[in-house]
Amino acid sequence: MESGHQEITMPATQADEYQEIAWGVQKFGEKFTPFYINRPNVGPKQVKFKTLYSGVCHTDLHKVKGHFGPGNVYPYVPGHEILGEVTEIGEGVTKFKVGDHVGVGCFVDSCMECEQCEEDYENYCDKGVTETYDHVKKFGRVLGNKDMRTWGGYSGSNVVHEHFCLTIPKDLPVENAAPILCAGITMYDPLQNHGFTTGKSRTVGIVAIGGLGTMGIKIAKALGHTVVAISTTSAKEQLAKDKGATHFVASKDPESIKAMANSCHIILNTVAANHDINTYMPLLKKGGVIVQIGAAPAPHSISQIPLMFNRQSIAGSLVGGIKNTQEILDFCAKHQIWPDAQMIKFDQIDWAFEQLETNNKDGIRFVIDVQASIAAG
């Protein structure tokens, strides 16, 4: 296949599987359509749930469209911000009972034996985490046809090992909880790892005020920090301040950078396109860290002398483990914060992708109302 991707024929449903509706892309480059996939029947330690909501992440767009390179397998069903209601539990399940709200994020299995897994960083599993969609089933906790890859959350139901299922607190609105499973943990995890979830109030910079950025502002503020929102121009100043930012920097304006120079203890940089990290370094305090969160392919030119003289760090972060994901869900429930979500139905997925591709001016997360989509048939 010219694109470097692979197309397969959906196999017959096995004896240990059932059929389920999904919305995905049948062949590389095509639009979304509904079709049937096979899901595994419930086994020991497995949790089956009816999907209520499925968030639409910018990464879904990148992956479905093959932006990260060749190797996709089509039909392709994305979705890794999944919110459901438990309908059946397997033998030995202790975390859930039928009727509970349950969440599944970016991955559904990992080796559970390596140093990363043991330290609750399943997302960095040394043997390679099994992502929620388009990933090979390696470790045995995703049941059903072993030759098929994982299918994502744009689908009517799912069956996942309970370790990889999150408990959704009762006082979180289920339609808004879905994006916490990716956007929320993505912004919380670096704050947790770099010591910003305990201790005194500090100053947190957030670069790019989209879906990740607005959620970052809310979390950092709820943690008691002062937030500096950073965007190329002042177009998003009001939005950022409405979400809780105290200060705003228009990064294309040297005077604006200068006004907030040496102010941030940490900067969460969510820019997902190529950029020059040195634009933001002057905003960092001595002892500060800038965490790169977006998948920017072009390398940065970084001088180590200012890193040394200012005791600064450049770090990377990619979602988070199950423990921290549960922590941010509980934190969001306690502080009554969540991503701004706009409900869509399955026939609006292509339209939502277009919005994400142009400019997410309102910092909104699109969320598929799965049951309404099924009802709309």
- Contact footprint for its own copies (CB under 8 A): 115-116, 119, 121, 124, 126, 193, 262, 277, 285-287, 289, 292-293, 295-297, 299-318
In this complex, which beta carbon is closest to its own copies, that of residue 300 or of residue 334?
300
Nearer to its own copies, 16 or 119 (CB): 119
Q: How far is CA 352 from CA 56, 77, 186, 356, in A?
A: 8, 15, 21, 6
Q: How far is residue 25's CA from residue 76's CA, in Å, rounded to a whole number?
A: 5
CB of 133 to its own copies, least distance (A): 17
Q: Nearest approach, Cβ of 291 to its own copies (angstroms)? A: 9
1 or 261: whose CB is closer to its own copies?
261
End-to-end CA distance of the chain: 32
Euclidean distance between CA atoms 205 and 280, whole angstroms: 9
Nearest to 110 by CA among 101, 100, 99, 121: 121
| 301 burial via Cβ count (<10 Å: 0-12, 13-18, 19+) | exposed
Helix (H) or strand (E) segment spanning residue 7: strand 6-7
Smallest gap from residue 309 Cβ to its own copies (A): 6
Residue whose structure tokens are 């994400």: 356
List 34's β-bridge partners, or say none.
23
Least Cβ distance, residue 119 to its own copies (angstroms): 8
- As measured in angstroms, the least distance from the Cβ of 298 to its own copies is 8
* Token pair belonging to 292: 């790169």
**In the bound complex, what is the minimum distance in angstroms from residue 223's beta carbon to its own copies?**
19
254 or 287: CB nearest its own copies: 287
How far apart are the C-alpha atoms of 253 and 233, rounded to whole Å?
A: 8
